[in-house]
Amino acid sequence: MRHRLGLVVLGALFWAAPVHADPIGEGVKDLPIFDAHVHYKEPAWGPYPPGTVIELMDRAGVAMALVSSTPDEGTIKLYEYAPNRIVPEVRPYHGGYGSSNWTSFDGMFDYIRGRMDAYPHVGIGEFHLHDIAKADEGLLRQIATLAAERGALLHIHSGAEPVSFMYGIDPNLTIIWAHAGMSEPPAVVGPMMDKHPTLYADLSYREWEILKGEGGTLDPAWKALLEKHADRFMVGTDTWVNEQWAQYSDLVAMNRAWLAQFPKDLAEGFAYRNAERLFKRKVSRDLIGTR
């Protein structure tokens, strides 16, 4: 009897496994994309006015995007043009303060809070953190407290250490780890996500590691990591310079190429469902072509 039950269970596994493992393949073309890493920086405003940006999103099948800009006015321009397509977050960078010196501006906390009061920002970021200087700790604590009070997330470009530092201030913060740590390998990203259940990651600039070579296969370490935390990774393009806007469709196509190798449920998660849940928005192809 026990033997027979074993056969039934084994049979069910063999029957179920290929169904689950079937990659979505060509079906990936029909998925709407939530682009979790968009900037609309000042140099883009002239050559890529808001209407052009939304058209680029339409053409690439991008239904919605998380946008932060240097300065924040760029994000608001896009948001006001197409509020149903743009999820705004406030980037601290403005004036002479950018990625390398933003924490040294005395008025930074008031600036961030003021922008959050004035506009419907869902988060603070993307900002860069390298080594955390003693002098910066006060500001980072203020930012963590503000995020917690407002139910806002943080979008941080850093290695593992600054993310751990922020979770040390408040373990309940929601953090999007930009570029999944950029240069941190899956062996570092995985344990961080194991440890922090509210840690999400966008995968911009990771496409070429996830998918090896032209028409390539999934890197085994990335595949295992993406499967393990399938509900917390999101696609991103990172339009940090105009060259990224110029090749926006190709960037999205590159992401669809790796998505295509995952089963439908996982591919949908990375493409838009994880963002849907995180940002509490309905993302669908119906948004494309609208504003």
Of 24 and 166, nearer to Zn ion (C-beta) is: 166
Among 7-15, 86-94, 190-198, 240-248, the segment contacting Zn ion (CB under 5 A): 240-248
Query: Of these, 35, 72, 136, 238, which contacts Zn ion (CB under 5 A)?
Result: 238
| 136/238 with CB nearer Zn ion | 238
Residue 147 backbone dihedrals phi, psi, to 5 degrees? -60, -45
Least Cα distance to 203 among 155, 249, 265, 270 occurs for 270
Q: How far from each other are the two terminal CA atoms of the chain, in whole angstroms?
A: 62
Q: What is the CA radius of gyration of the chain?
A: 20
Query: C-beta of 91: minimal distance to Zn ion in Å?
Result: 9
112-151 residues near Zn ion, rule: CB under 5 A = 126
CB of 128 to Zn ion, least distance (A): 9
CB of 118 to Zn ion, least distance (A): 23
Single out the segment in contact with Zn ion by CB under 5 A; choices: 141-149, 210-218, 236-244, 270-278: 236-244
Query: How far apart are CB 26 and Zn ion at their closest, in Å?
Result: 30
> How far is 71 from 91, CA to CA, in rounded Å?
7
d(CA 212, CA 234) in angstroms, rounded, equals 19
Minimum CB distance to Zn ion smaller for 126 or for 276: 126
Nearer to Zn ion, 222 or 240 (CB): 240
> Which is closer to Zn ion, CB of 202 or CB of 268?
202
Q: Which of 60, 44, 58, 55 is nearest to 237 (CA)?
A: 60
Q: Exposed, middle or buried: residue 12 (CB in 10 Å: 0-12, 13-18, 19+)?
A: exposed
198, 153 Cβ separation under 8 angstroms = no
At closest approach, how far in Å is the CB of 231 from Zn ion? 23
SS3 (DSSP) at 23 = strand
- Closest contact distance (angstroms) between CB of 285 and Zn ion is 26
User: Of 68 and 274, which has the nearer Cβ to Zn ion?
Assistant: 68
Binding site for Zn ion (CB under 5 A): 126, 238, 240
